[in-house]
Structure 1
Amino acid sequence: MTYDPAAANPLGTNPLATRSDMQRAVIDLFNPLLPYFSQGKARVRLDAAAAHFDRAAADLEGFARPLWGLAPFSAGGGHFAHWDRYADGIANGTDPNHPEYWGAVNGRDQRMVELAALGFALALVPEKIWDPLSPRARNNLAAYLLHARQFDYADNNWKFFRIFVDVALDRLGIEYDRSLTRQYLSELEGFYIADGWYRDGNVRRIDHYIPFAMHFYGLIYSRLIEDDYAKRYRERALAFAQDFRHWFGQDGATLPFGRSLTYRFACAGFWSALAFADLEALPWGEIKGLCLRHLRWWADKPMTHRDGVLSIGYGYPNLLMSENYNSAGSPYWAFKAFLPLAVGEGHPFWTTPETPPAALDEAVPLRHPGMVMMPCQGDVVALSSGQENRQMRFGSEKYAKFAYSTRYGFSVESDERAFAGGAFDSMLAFSDDGIHYRVRESNDEARLAGNGLYSKWSPWPDVVVETWLLPSAPWHVRVHRITTARELETAEGGFAIARRDFEADTLFSAPGAAHAIGAEDFSGICDLGSSVAREGLAQKAPPNTNLIAAKTLVPQLRATIPPGETILRCAVLAVRDTSAVSGEWTRPPAVPDIDALCALAGQGESVSAMDAPGRMP
């Protein structure tokens, strides 16, 4: 082979075990950007793909986002040889008369997001990017920041962005209206739920924005500012850590769930921020292990282009899974993981040996995100009900599947007119014409009872589905009670596993069951006595739909259901053990009783994500 995609990964030869390893990583990841700085150094343009905002804002994104890692690196004593580029770029980007001017903020604007990174760097290393500026350049920068902060920011984690600009203005001795800072600090409190959990706005979703945004920014604030808000942020992080650690498998993989997953190892940002804030929310060895194991998980993934630039995608370059606000510079929010570089080598984060990963021994219910975290032979499966995102592309796949896995990720669909060929992993799809389809997008009700989840949802106004999800590690059980006035075709999928070339995998389909055996993994789904007969299908999913593996196999059960009431029951198993076909696969869980399930639903508590006030329809 002339090109090995994984070999282009700058983390590939890095053991990522020590502070010096992490210092090397941030520079190795940054250096591929050097050829793409513009002549005036104010813009970094990485490819021709577009986001919904203008090109100047996208180029600013490529310029600013690496600062989340570069500023801590320098604050902790690391030598970064290109601060002159940033000083020149800031001077030119904020000069209205320069051809590389970033453009003025006028209303809610992507520039607001990127100015938070600039504010953070100005607060942390002003000697690198403020002191070298001429008086005129300083005036331009101050005017640019002051102009931007007068506008209303989005009603979510964006409110922290103005606060970070304000922290920088404080550090630089520039006067501004502090009432706006107090206003946003107060409004952010409205997103807090309980037990360390937030929403990212008044929406029915609780995703990685809670650790890598709400807590990340709050913990930085708590290090830079001493006030009552700082105390609250620290107390909440202590509580959140007890739950969030269950989102990580023993190999360091986190749960791919929700939007903005192209930020990749930003998912370690919460653990990194604990180090920066000097907050031992868990023993330091455990925090360090969670952070560094996650970085190591990425080291063999083909996550960059051949020049080492981070791609849009997750496990591999993939525009299909992206959001419309992802430009080519977006993935560099991953640099949030390098925040521990700001603390010295004598800090206990660095001096304490990593704690080996603690196994998740039993299912852990998490009421606020509406999840049951289930152990699966070192991996983690999250059964999920109660979240939604109906405003963004593939919101159903990112938020409303029945289960998400640290090992198998999830898939997005590539054709809304391909019911026969859809992946439908961890989903139940319906079609009334054999071409188009509907899946769960939102819930009318979602409850958690013990370790069981109940939800009620409608793919069409005249179709009602009640779904129960029950852990039985390493299996999980699903039961659906469907009421429809018309005949519908259905397809229900298990987990997607990697598919090999040359038809090297074993596929099995039969009435009531299907499974696939790949190079390392087994995935199967079996019927547990539905009221209609279902046929198994080992689906060769469309390429580039899964977040982790570019080609996948998904076992499915398919059936046509009549008008009236139908009960569908199944059990799902996916493990990294090809011998499971003669072992665990032969021992499916017991068939749950529908009356007992109805009683269970009545006993549960409402999932917190369902209670968002003022949500969009």
Structure 2
Amino acid sequence: MKLPGEDRTLSPYTGYTRDHWVAVADGLLTAAWHWATPGGARLDLPGPPSGSGVRSDGLEGFARTFLAAAFRVTGEDGKDPHGWLERYAGGLDAGTRTPGRDDAESWPVIGDHHVAGQPMVESASVALGLRLTRPWLWDNLAPAVQDRIEAWLRGALRHVPAPNNWYLFPFTVAGFLASVGRGETETARARDRALELLESWYRGDGWYADGDGRAFDHYNGWALHLYPVLDAHLAGEETRFGPRLREHLDSFGLWFGGDGAPLHFGRSLTYRFAAASAVGLGAVTGNTPLRPGVSRRLISGALRYFLDRGAVDEHGLLSLGWHGPHAHTVQYYSGPGSPYWASKAFVCLLAPPDHPLWTATEEPAPSETADAVLALPAPGLLLQSTRRDGVVRLHNHGSDHVRPHEAESAAEDNPHYGRFAYSTRTGPTARGNPADNHFAVVVAGVRSVRRRVHPLGVGQAGGWGWAASWHRPVFGRGPATVPGLRVESVTVVRGSDELRVHRVLGAPPGARVEQTGWATAPGESVLRPLSGWTGRDEVRAPHGTAFLPWVSLPRLTGDVHGTAVVVALAALGAEPRDPVASVTEEGAEIGWPDGFAVQIRFGPLRVRVDPVRSMPGG
């Protein structure tokens, strides 16, 4: 991939300009099209197939790269020096001639999400690409080809999406069809249903849940905001979705570290710099509180972060993983074409070269300006960043990936949601390895996992903040649960310090508790016992993380029976200060050497956290 020279005057933090974004788009497209079928209907990229099979994967490669091409050409007002749209026009023709046929070109038909659903995801990318490039592509297709494309797309309107952001795929298809004069009752129904559900998933503070449960992650930006906001922008309409994006971006800037990395949290992380798509969309549509120089710092920082760390392989393709290939980052539904949802980040190219997004001088990211603590009440998350190292930490007391109707099962333990903390510098350890940032109750030698998270509140004041939740420990062997066993948890952050306070209720005789810290190279994180712990050691995770091939975790252990409160102090990449804890069964008081102290009081399924002037007796 050939990139222009850096411009450290305009972009003192990344060196990247709009020309770099265009060059990356062209480079990714050139490499991907090397693997096109003869008719160009599928891009059969090399790699292990997804659960949907290679034909679906080939469509995925076509549709998701089409998004990048569409943003790139539309942002240049139709200029297409590489002839991308001609290639995609040929593929659209070939793929829709005989949908469902088992040959080299035909696209799979769209089915219900639990039968053959993946093509529904790709239909949204096809529809959005066509809507963006309509004057140069769609309007020049033969009527018969247009009819065949419409017939294939309508499969998304007639089948059942997954019960989450998938409802925005038929919404997007219907929006395109209406925009070209092919809308009617069926398209209106698909759009109304999606907006009805989207409204029910909105939790406030710019945050949507990804479905009826409490799944809060990067899908909030690259799906739940992107599709309705871009739809309204292309239609020239003012809707409630723009102000919600602005509210989301008011805090989302802190989701990126000083090195450009997005928080490594949630599923589908192989989409990488798609995490920055909401920032670019906000700049393009004007729905952002971020200054243009900050927005460019965030999007270009994320793009460069991955390019500098091997996300593009020797073939010029995006690999399945994080930096480079990493199997434990990848979900079962991901195939070789999946990483190209990163194409959503190229929405920033809809801003023309003279847009302030590209002409303003880069400014520092929020994580580079000062130490910060930010409580997000709607998703139940607490952010903590330190300017010294640019690391952002996310403390999770509100997001899980358990649908309301699902039972809690230890077999479904999800490292991307179940841990108490995530960061821009560390990733969760893999299943089968010791779990990082985890609190476990150990009964009869079996460690519990945290599945459904019940938030108890978050708050911030000045330079400190807190978040709390409770969960029911579940076990993978023997009885799934212990009657009456519950864990109430509080995280308090200040500077680089993280207080981790847990109250265990209903612990059976012989039970133990374990607390682990950050997954890093040896010596790069600290976990210090303050109260209730009797053992301390370090355990190894030889499968490593998305950041390191081999990691170790500090661990604390202790015995519990009935009700017990334990307190630990954690720190990532810094030596913590030396607070002192005083503990009862109802709570704890923790004081720092500089005189600052907090008081934590547990009640029946509630927690109160307050600052106090001094510690009793100290």
TM-score (norm 1): 0.84
Asked if the contact 2:40–2:87 (Cα under 8 Å) also holds between the matched residues in 1, the reply is yes
Between 1 and 2, higher relative CO (CA 8 Å, sep ≥ 6) is seen in 1
Assess, with a 3 A threshold, how the Cα gap between structure 1 residues 189 and 130 changes in structure 2: closer, same or farther.
Answer: same
Asked if the contact 2:69–2:84 (Cα under 8 Å) also holds between the matched residues in 1, the reply is no
Secondary structure of 2:152's counterpart equals helix
Identity of aligned residues (%): 28
Aligned to 2:515: 492
After superposition, residues 192-231 of structure 1 pair within 5 angstroms as: 192-227=202-237, 230-231=238-239
Asked if the contact 2:3–2:20 (Cα under 8 Å) also holds between the matched residues in 1, the reply is no
Aligned to 2:568: 570
Aligned to 2:429: 411
Letter in 2 for 1:590: V
Asked if the contact 2:456–2:605 (Cα under 8 Å) also holds between the matched residues in 1, the reply is no
Assess, with a 3 A threshold, how the Cα gap between structure 1 residues 22 and 201 changes in structure 2: closer, same or farther.
Answer: same
Pick the aligned partner of 2:195 from 165, 185, 203. 185
* Counterpart-to-counterpart distance in 1, 2:277 and 2:582: 40
Aligned to 2:494: 472
Secondary structure of 1:313's counterpart equals coil
Secondary structure of 1:145's counterpart equals helix
* Counterpart-to-counterpart distance in 1, 2:330 and 2:441: 25
* Counterpart-to-counterpart distance in 1, 2:95 and 2:452: 43
Aligned to 1:508: none
| CA drift at 1:360 | 4.2
Assess, with a 3 A threshold, how the Cα gap between structure 1 residues 447 and 494 changes in structure 2: closer, same or farther.
Answer: same
Letter in 1 for 2:41: A
After superposition, residues 270-419 of structure 1 pair within 5 angstroms as: 270-358=278-366, 359-376=369-386, 377=388, 378-390=390-402, 396-413=414-431, 415=432
Assess, with a 3 A threshold, how the Cα gap between structure 1 residues 385 and 13 changes in structure 2: closer, same or farther.
Answer: farther
Letter in 1 for 2:313: H
Identify unmatched segments of 5+ residues in structure 2.
7-13, 404-408, 475-480, 589-598, 609-618
Assess, with a 3 A threshold, how the Cα gap between structure 1 residues 571 and 11 changes in structure 2: closer, same or farther.
Answer: farther
| CA drift at 1:139 | 1.9
Asked if the contact 2:601–2:607 (Cα under 8 Å) also holds between the matched residues in 1, the reply is no
* Counterpart-to-counterpart distance in 2, 1:563 and 1:351: 63
Letter in 2 for 1:90: L
| CA drift at 1:202 | 0.6
After superposition, residues 438-453 of structure 1 pair within 5 angstroms as: 438-444=448-454, 446-450=456-460, 451-453=465-467
Aligned residues: 556
| CA drift at 1:41 | 1.2
Assess, with a 3 A threshold, how the Cα gap between structure 1 residues 395 and 341 changes in structure 2: closer, same or farther.
Answer: farther
Assess, with a 3 A threshold, how the Cα gap between structure 1 residues 69 and 27 changes in structure 2: closer, same or farther.
Answer: same
* Counterpart-to-counterpart distance in 1, 2:349 and 2:214: 35
Letter in 1 for 2:517: G
Asked if the contact 2:214–2:402 (Cα under 8 Å) also holds between the matched residues in 1, the reply is no
| CA drift at 1:22 | 0.8
* Counterpart-to-counterpart distance in 2, 1:223 and 1:430: 50
Secondary structure of 2:154's counterpart equals helix
Aligned to 1:501: none
After superposition, residues 36-47 of structure 1 pair within 5 angstroms as: 36-47=35-46
Asked if the contact 2:156–2:169 (Cα under 8 Å) also holds between the matched residues in 1, the reply is no
Secondary structure of 1:187's counterpart equals helix
* Counterpart-to-counterpart distance in 2, 1:605 and 1:30: 52
| CA drift at 1:150 | 2.5
Secondary structure of 1:554's counterpart equals strand
> Residues 174-206 of structure 1, C-alpha deviation per residue, up to 9 Å, x if partnerless?
243243123322332211121211111111111
Asked if the contact 2:47–2:335 (Cα under 8 Å) also holds between the matched residues in 1, the reply is no
After superposition, residues 585-604 of structure 1 pair within 5 angstroms as: 585=576, 587-591=577-581, 593-594=583-584, 595-597=586-588, 600-602=601-603
Aligned to 1:112: 120
Assess, with a 3 A threshold, how the Cα gap between structure 1 residues 327 and 128 changes in structure 2: closer, same or farther.
Answer: farther
Letter in 2 for 1:94: T
| CA drift at 1:350 | 1.0
Letter in 2 for 1:297: Y
> Residues 69-119 of structure 1, C-alpha deviation per residue, up to 9 Å, x if partnerless?
211100122533333321111111111177321122232321111111111
Assess, with a 3 A threshold, how the Cα gap between structure 1 residues 606 and 329 changes in structure 2: closer, same or farther.
Answer: farther
Aligned to 1:534: 535
Asked if the contact 1:198–1:214 (Cα under 8 Å) also holds between the matched residues in 2, the reply is yes
Assess, with a 3 A threshold, how the Cα gap between structure 1 residues 12 and 481 changes in structure 2: closer, same or farther.
Answer: farther
Secondary structure of 1:65's counterpart equals helix
> Residues 425-460 of structure 1, C-alpha deviation per residue, up to 9 Å, x if partnerless?
1112344454x5322222355332542222222224
Letter in 1 for 2:580: A
Letter in 2 for 1:88: G
Letter in 2 for 1:429: A
* Counterpart-to-counterpart distance in 2, 1:319 and 1:313: 6
Pick the aligned partner of 1:454 from 468, 471, 479. 468
* Counterpart-to-counterpart distance in 2, 1:89 and 1:61: 13
Establish whether residue 81 from structure 1 lines up as the match of residue 86 from structure 2. no
* Counterpart-to-counterpart distance in 2, 1:410 and 1:199: 22
Asked if the contact 2:293–2:362 (Cα under 8 Å) also holds between the matched residues in 1, the reply is yes
Assess, with a 3 A threshold, how the Cα gap between structure 1 residues 44 and 337 changes in structure 2: closer, same or farther.
Answer: same
Establish whether residue 266 from structure 1 lines up as the match of residue 274 from structure 2. yes
Asked if the contact 1:449–1:604 (Cα under 8 Å) also holds between the matched residues in 2, the reply is no
Assess, with a 3 A threshold, how the Cα gap between structure 1 residues 200 and 342 changes in structure 2: closer, same or farther.
Answer: same
| CA drift at 1:312 | 1.3
* Counterpart-to-counterpart distance in 1, 2:372 and 2:361: 26
| CA drift at 1:334 | 0.5
* Counterpart-to-counterpart distance in 1, 2:251 and 2:413: 24
Asked if the contact 1:157–1:200 (Cα under 8 Å) also holds between the matched residues in 2, the reply is yes
Secondary structure of 2:67's counterpart equals helix
Letter in 2 for 1:340: C
Assess, with a 3 A threshold, how the Cα gap between structure 1 residues 347 and 164 changes in structure 2: closer, same or farther.
Answer: same
Once the two structures are overlaid, the 10-residue window that deviates more, 55-64 or 97-106, is: 97-106
* Counterpart-to-counterpart distance in 1, 2:230 and 2:466: 36
> Residues 323-342 of structure 1, C-alpha deviation per residue, up to 9 Å, x if partnerless?
12111111100111111212
Asked if the contact 1:384–1:401 (Cα under 8 Å) also holds between the matched residues in 2, the reply is yes
Aligned to 1:65: 64
Letter in 2 for 1:71: A
Secondary structure of 1:126's counterpart equals coil
* Counterpart-to-counterpart distance in 2, 1:494 and 1:96: 55
Assess, with a 3 A threshold, how the Cα gap between structure 1 residues 573 and 89 changes in structure 2: closer, same or farther.
Answer: same
Aligned to 1:612: none
Assess, with a 3 A threshold, how the Cα gap between structure 1 residues 444 and 374 changes in structure 2: closer, same or farther.
Answer: closer
| CA drift at 1:10 | 7.5
Assess, with a 3 A threshold, how the Cα gap between structure 1 residues 187 and 357 changes in structure 2: closer, same or farther.
Answer: closer
Assess, with a 3 A threshold, how the Cα gap between structure 1 residues 524 and 446 changes in structure 2: closer, same or farther.
Answer: same
Letter in 1 for 2:458: L
Assess, with a 3 A threshold, how the Cα gap between structure 1 residues 187 and 468 changes in structure 2: closer, same or farther.
Answer: closer
Establish whether residue 425 from structure 1 lines up as the match of residue 436 from structure 2. yes
Establish whether residue 243 from structure 1 lines up as the match of residue 251 from structure 2. yes
Assess, with a 3 A threshold, how the Cα gap between structure 1 residues 111 and 445 changes in structure 2: closer, same or farther.
Answer: same
* Counterpart-to-counterpart distance in 1, 2:321 and 2:374: 30
* Counterpart-to-counterpart distance in 2, 1:219 and 1:390: 27
Assess, with a 3 A threshold, how the Cα gap between structure 1 residues 481 and 90 changes in structure 2: closer, same or farther.
Answer: same
